[in-house]
Structure 1
Amino acid sequence: MGGAVLDGLLEAAVYVDDLDAAEAFYGGLLGLERILRLDGRHVFFRCGRAVLLCFVAEATREPPHNPDLPVPSHGADGPSHVCFAASGTALVAWRERIEAEGLEIEQDFRWPNGARSIYLRDPAGNSVELAEPKLWFGGDG
């Protein structure tokens, strides 16, 4: 590859229809730090050394209006998926917190390698997974 190496995932996006609901879910329930919001278009959150981008799909399909930020149009239809890393001990606390908020846990199970995953839906219907890192990286995660 001649030195062309990726250092990790910098950002991931989900598409939402209600920025207030997205902010309450990702910022409130999950406790992610909001770093930027543009009403009607997006709200961004820091998660460790990565960023979760919550976009209103229709707004991101429009071509950019600022020549200094020539980001290509994008957007997606339908629910997507995002997974956050959490230790096994933290997953116990997360399950309690999610249930205390009256949210439905879609699934809570152990993978063949012993890693645990908890699935729920955000207000836009995106699949949100909280999983032990050993799901992909081995070890005790």
Structure 2
Amino acid sequence: MTDIRPPLLGTMETALYADDLTAATAFWQDVMGLTAFQTVPGRHVFFRIGDTPHPQVLLVFRAEATERPAPPDARLPVPSHGARGPGHFCMAVGRDHIDDWCRHLQSHDVGIEADFHWPNGARSIYFRDPAGNSIELAEPSLWA
């Protein structure tokens, strides 16, 4: 038996959960600037994140809709899933844009919960989306 694993390319999608998809859409599009590319009313809204070599997507689901198993004849039989309570999502931002993001968020009445420098010198800010999820914008060097 061998322990050689095939390579991974990176994170492709991240999921958050929200009861109010209209508020989630307004926040992620109008405040954060992401592009919604797929919506199923009452179930989910999917957003593209930046221009990268491979697709990166934020999936926002209503847990109540996705906790139910797919019917046996479903065209896309995705396994049921869901989470309750606030989640966490972090996006990378250049050091020279964090202050710009602080001003932008405050201009949209989004309060900054934390703004600090990590022991390695990287900076990040935390705030909440309308569903109460903890959102972080951080310098990529945080995990370097």
TM-score over 0.5 for the pair:
yes
Specify which of 25, 28, 47 is matched with residue 26 of structure 1: 28
Q: Paired residue for 1:92?
A: 99
The one of 62, 66, 70 aligned to 1:60: 66
> Following superposition of structure 1 onto structure 2, how do residues 41-80 of structure 1 map, counting pairs within 5 Å?
41-48=43-50, 49-65=55-71, 66-80=73-87
Distance 2:95 2:28 in 1: 20
Q: What CA deviation, in whole Å up to 9, does each residue of 1:93-119 have, x standing for no partner? A: 100001111111000111011111010
* Partner Cα distance (2:5, 2:137) in 1: 33
Distance 1:114 1:23 in 2: 33
SS at match of 1:114: coil
For 2:103 and 2:44, locate their aligned partners in 1 and report how far apart those are by CA, in whole Å. 29
Amino acid at match of 2:105: I
Q: Aligned residue pairs: how many? A: 137
TM-score (norm 1): 0.93
Determine helix, strand or coil for the equivalent of 2:16.
Answer: strand
- Please give the secondary structure, in 1, of the residue aligned with 2:78: coil
Q: Tell me how far apart the structure 1 counterparts of residues 74 and 60 of structure 2 sit (CA, whole Å).
A: 22
Match of 2:11 in 1: 9
**What TM-score do the two structures reach when normalised by structure 2?**
0.91
- Segments of 4+ in structure 1 off by > 4 A? none
The 5 A counterparts of 1:99-138 are: 99-137=106-144
What do the CA deviations read for 1:36-84 (whole angstroms, capped 9, x no partner)? 0111000000113310000000100111135321100000111000001
Cα RMSD after superposing both structures: 1.1
SS of the aligned residue for 1:23 comes to: helix
Greater mean deviation of Cα atoms: 122-131 or 67-76: 67-76
Gapped regions of structure 1 (runs ≥ 5): none
Match of 2:90 among 83, 88, 109: 83
